[in-house]
Amino acid sequence: MILLWGSNARETHPIYFHHLLKGVRNGARLYVVDPRRTASAQWADVWMGLDIGSDIVLANAMAREIIVAGLTHEWFVEHATSGFAAYRNCVEQYTLERAERESGVPGTVIRECAHAYARAERAQICWTLGITEHHNAVDNVLALLNLGLLTGHVGRYGSGLNPLRGQNNVQGGGDMGAIPDRLPGFQHVENDELRGAFERAWGARINPRRGLNLSAMFEAMGHRELTCLYVLGENPADSEADRQQTLKRLGGLEFLVVQDLFYTNTAALADVVLPAAAGWCETEGTVTSSERRVQRVRRAVPPPPGVRDDMEIIYELARRLGHDWGEPHAESIWDEVRGLSPMHAGMSYRRLEELGGIQWPCYDESHPGEMYLHSRLWQMPLIGPRAPFTAVEFSPPVDQLDQDYPIRLTTGRRLDCYNTNVQSGGYASPLRRGETLDLSPEDGERYGVLDGENVRIASRRGSVVAPVRFDPSLRPGLAFMTVHFHDQVATNNLTIDAVDPKSGTSEFKATAIRIEKFSEN
Amino acid sequence: MDLHLSDARPTAEEKAAVDVELGPPESGWQGGARQIEEEGRVAFGGREARSRRHLLLPVLHAVQARAGWISPGALNYVCLRLDVAPAEAHGVASFYGMFALAEQPPVVAHVCDDIGCMVRGAEAMCTELQTKLGPAGAECKDGGAVWHRSPCLGLCERAPAVLITGAGANPRECVLAPATPGAVQASISESVAGHWPSEPDVFNAQLSAPQAGGANLRVLRRIGEASGVSTLDDYLRLGGYQALRRSLDLGPEGVVREVLESKLVGRGGAAFPVGKKWDAVRQQSNRTGARYVVCNADESEPGTFKDRIVMEGDPYAVLEGMTIAALAVGAEHGYVYVRGEYPFATRRLRQAIESARARGLLGDNILDSGLRFDIEVRRGAGAYICGEETALFNSIEGYRGEPRNKPPFPTQAGLFDRPTVVNNVETIVNIPEIILAGGAAYACIGTENSTGTRLFCLSGHVVRPGVYEAAFGITLGEMIDQAGGPGGNGRLQAVLLGGAAGAFVSPSELNMPLTFEGARAIGATLGSGVIMLFDDSVDLRQILLRIAAFFRDESCGQCVPCRVGTMRQEEALHRLSSRQPLESVAEEIRTLREMGQAMRDASICGLGQTASSAIESALQRWSLFA
């Protein structure tokens, strides 16, 4: 069984979805949880169209049903987890009736899904931004992890809890320490022993306290605590929630450096722009995919004149700052990673080439890598810490609906565009139709607007103008826009920067809007 | 799945036709009225919706029969109902000759211009129809109808033949054979006016099976009854279902033993030992899951009509034979795949199945023995290739009728990838005879290596055309004499043995015994039992051109040797017959042989492998292009 939750992988992870369809062809049942009946949902045996932000209600009600029906994997819970009693007490409040009321999904269907998940021989939950672009993103994720622990669908072949990554190397970025509190190999920066190893290797002192995540950085910019910003391969001017505020903050910086392949809207605001080479064909190195597979990347063509590899830019920057690291060399940098990050230790370039990539952890050169994680939870006796249940409570979206803003807008992506379209806007697509406000035909009638008519869309933060497109996959009260066409329609003028304090992610998925008639004059 | 449909919508009639086949849509998501308040939170479908893919062909038939064509709107609705991608559905709909994807009048006359009808005046009839009605493919002068040329309709004993179909709320068919231009015109007018005969055709045993009522018949012995065995009581009175009772006593193993001992081989053309096939499926019985019995009634080989006459004249024998097969291999579900041009046979079979069900001869507890088996009739839709067994499976499953690569063989992975017994009609109706006579006794009929009797389809220039039964071993000349001898001008020029995929033999070869080994000895084949005679007024070059055009048209196009080879073959024959050979006649004939060899060597199914055999056999025997 595959439970795709808050993910329209058919459009946003098309290659992955082909793999998923192989599973479906081989007999896997597919359940999709998504407020919209997306292209992915249309493949599902069961689609559950919950209210936006009610994921925890749904997950907790599933858990309660699993417990009540006696479908808990008791041996696993006893053997490998902690905190079950508190969790059980928490989910006890989430009856099917309550879940139906608060999520909109019929209780009978929630029950069926719970039973199918618990009884499946192998079951996976896969999710993406529908879970994480919320003010309580981490709680949402925990609610899903709890389900895996409750049923033992973790640490076993074919079962698992899988966040689908948005880019070929999101995983690799995190692995290499591009997170505020971690050094390469997820080693905590505030752990003296772990940090010490890096300090000794580098002969330098590392700030012993964690840094700021993206949202916190923007807040700090707002407070003028952060005055200098170096942006690598990001386009926050278009991608951050509450765009007007973002632009103000970027504009208020004392110094902005942007390093990118393209002259983005953020680059247009920069004091210095450093043109960067294209990672996939103009550089040497590695990337790491969603399944933790480290793969080699090879330079096929030299970058255009005046453009440099990220690695060269950083080395040159270091030299100008008084630290001459010599000539950059991808394999020696990788070997340095292997020396400092135990989970990468066994991945020599030679082995990566021979094996066509290796999935971490890979502790030494005889280790084949791990196809799936957490198998230790099934070992007798248990090795390492127990996996904790974390009871989480429902918390509705911050931007609430009311008479003035009665429609729930959610944002997302389409098959032929990628995020702010920096990478994908350069080529033509027969599917691309520009930004639209997707509405159910019923809402079109209700608000007296026609398919194709330009309307003004207003939230508590701002407004934009876009044409209406009737989309029968939406129910009344639910609207959809993408984030692809900021030059025409700055969708993030509408979104709220209500941020999950743990992950730093904004609640892009839940905005309250209204539609106003628009006249060109 | 995520369907990307055009804006075309079905008409109310088209929708209703689909819903009759599939039941009403379960939700707005599946094409029903949009009820977003109730359905905006949940939708079902997925595997369950896609599991009905095998209903695609019946549904397309329903739309075609209702509207006279399959409109883009109707196709969209079918896609929604069955969760089939529109490109796939279009691929299937456009594969079959009987489906129209452009609007056409509701009444369609299919005028056979294939070789059997050609020598009985089809060409003259087409010329006259053109004068009377207007050109083929265009709406007839009086409106409401259109006529098309058609490949063999399997009515060769009554050539020339015409099949008229009428779409509408009450879709109808009517067979005219033998047809005259005047009768065709009159019949079209009647049809357009809504007047149809109550049955599509009239079964006339004396006309179609001239031996009917005679002695020494086995397979045809019941067919002499006035209008065929039209009721279950008739069948029972004539000894029907005795063989099934005996089979229940014998048990699966005993039945397979008898069939093995009978040395029965398949009558469809490939002559594979039936007992071995059944035994192979039975051996898979220990594995869980379904097994199937499929009766191949997609009789489309030009010149072949025996299976049609058996189905029309003795339909219960088909059911009884299939039920015995099901008992032997442990199948609970059977299909009869009848070619789409056989409306009368389809009707007779369906009636027979209903009666058998009502009397406990099909269903959950057959003859109170605990045996569970039922049969479904599936109609082809005008594709010769679907007579190839794996193409037939694909067609039943709702795909284009393209043959599969083998292995796996049907006994391992056939219909729905399950172990499957597939036999043609004539083979199946031999089964009750074998069970009643005993395998060993049956093996004494005929010759050492060709046991039992065989049905032959005599047509063309013969005095009494029709289906004949004879023990293997009778010579070709004797068989022709039984049918009254050569007809036409009486001066026999050639005999086509085995159909378009068979071979021509000359009058000097009439003493060949009609056995598998006898045919092989002169480089021919019995194929589907076709014996078509041509007197010396026939221009054999025109016959060869028609055969070449047939294969070019019927090649499914999936594999290159056949798709390209059948086209090149026809082109070369056109150049030869118009006396414009490339380089020389000898060079063209060399090219034809080479093309034939390439198709034999490299095509994945029998169509390509035999597409040149009749043509090459003629070139070998006669200097047609000197």
What angle do helix axes B274-283 and B242-262 make, rounded to 10 degrees?
100
The DSSP letter of residue A378 is G
pLDDT by residue (tens digit) across B21-62? 999 999 999 999 999 988 999 999 899 999 999 999 999 999
Between A and B, how many residue pairs show a Cβ–Cβ distance under 8 A? 60
Per-residue confidence (pLDDT) for residue B285, from 0 to 100: 58
Please give, rounded to a whole number of angstroms, the shortest distance from the CA of A155 to a CA of chain B. Answer: 28
Q: Which residue of B has its CA nearest to A52?
A: B41
pLDDT at B227 > cutoff 70: no
> Looking at beta carbons, which residues of chain A come within 8 Å of B29?
37, 42
Q: Which residue of A has its CA nearest to B40?
A: A475
Closest CA to B618 of B501, B506, B477, B537: B506
Phi, psi of A349 (to 5 degrees): -55, -40
**A84 versus B283: which is more confidently predicted?**
A84
What ipTM did this prediction achieve?
0.86
B36/A440 Cβ within 8 A: yes
- Note whether B360 and B377 are within 8 A (CB): no
B45 touches chain A (CB under 8 A): yes
B48 touches chain A (CB under 8 A): yes
> Looking at beta carbons, which residues of chain A come within 8 Å of B43?
37, 41-42, 44, 46-47, 49
pLDDT by residue (tens digit) across B466-485? 999 999 999 999 999 999 99
Bridging pattern class, strands A182-183 and A454-458:
unpaired
3-state helix/strand/coil string of A31-75: EEECCCCCCCHHHCCEEECCCCCCHHHHHHHHHHHHHHCCCCCHH
Bridging pattern class, strands A46-48 and A30-33:
parallel
Residue B576, classified by CB atoms within 10 Å of its CB into exposed (0-12), middle (13-18) or buried (19+), is: buried
What angle do helix axes A107-119 and A137-151 make, rounded to 10 degrees?
50
Per-residue confidence (pLDDT) for residue A521, from 0 to 100: 57
Residue A312, classified by CB atoms within 10 Å of its CB into exposed (0-12), middle (13-18) or buried (19+), is: middle
- Note whether B333 and B292 are within 8 A (CB): yes
B44/A48 Cβ within 8 A: no
Question: Collapsing DSSP states into helix, strand and coil, what is residue B146?
Answer: strand
Please give, rounded to a whole number of angstroms, the shortest distance from the CA of A168 to a CA of chain B. Answer: 25
B42/A109 Cβ within 8 A: yes
pLDDT at B228 > cutoff 80: no
The label of the residue with tokens 């369907």 reads B3
- Note whether B373 and B331 are within 8 A (CB): yes
- Note whether A64 and A401 are within 8 A (CB): no
Per-residue confidence (pLDDT) for residue A420, from 0 to 100: 81
User: Along the 521 residues of chain A, how does pLDDT read in single tens digits?
Assistant: 999 999 999 999 999 999 999 999 999 999 999 999 999 999 999 999 999 999 999 999 999 999 999 999 999 999 999 999 999 999 999 999 999 999 999 999 999 999 999 999 999 999 999 999 999 999 999 999 999 999 999 999 999 999 998 888 989 999 999 999 999 999 999 999 999 999 999 999 999 999 999 889 999 999 999 999 999 999 999 888 888 999 999 999 999 999 999 999 999 999 999 999 998 999 999 999 988 999 999 999 999 999 999 999 999 999 999 999 999 999 999 999 999 999 999 999 999 999 999 999 999 999 999 999 999 999 999 989 999 999 999 999 999 999 999 999 999 999 888 888 877 888 888 888 899 999 999 999 999 999 999 999 999 999 999 999 999 999 999 999 998 888 888 888 999 988 888 888 889 999 999 999 987 65
CA dihedral B538, B131, B135, B200 (to 10 degrees): -80
The label of the residue with tokens 């009344």 reads A476
Token pair for A137: 């993103």
Please give, rounded to a whole number of angstroms, the shortest distance from the CA of A45 to a CA of chain B. Answer: 4
Helices (H), A321-412: 330-340, 349-355
Question: Collapsing DSSP states into helix, strand and coil, what is residue B430?
Answer: helix
Residue type, B315: P
Per-residue confidence (pLDDT) for residue A430, from 0 to 100: 86
A105/B1 Cβ within 8 A: no
B47/A476 Cβ within 8 A: no
A475/B40 Cβ within 8 A: yes
The predicted model scores a pTM of 0.90
B46/A43 Cβ within 8 A: yes
> Looking at beta carbons, which residues of chain B come within 8 Å of A43?
1-2, 46
B46 closest CB neighbour out of A45, A48, A109: A45
C-alpha triplet B396, B402, B408: angle, nearest 5°: 85
B40/A45 Cβ within 8 A: no
Report d(CA B360, CA B350) in Å as an integer. Answer: 15
A43 closest CB neighbour out of B2, B40, B42: B2
pLDDT at B364 > cutoff 90: yes
B43 touches chain A (CB under 8 A): yes
pLDDT at B169 > cutoff 70: yes
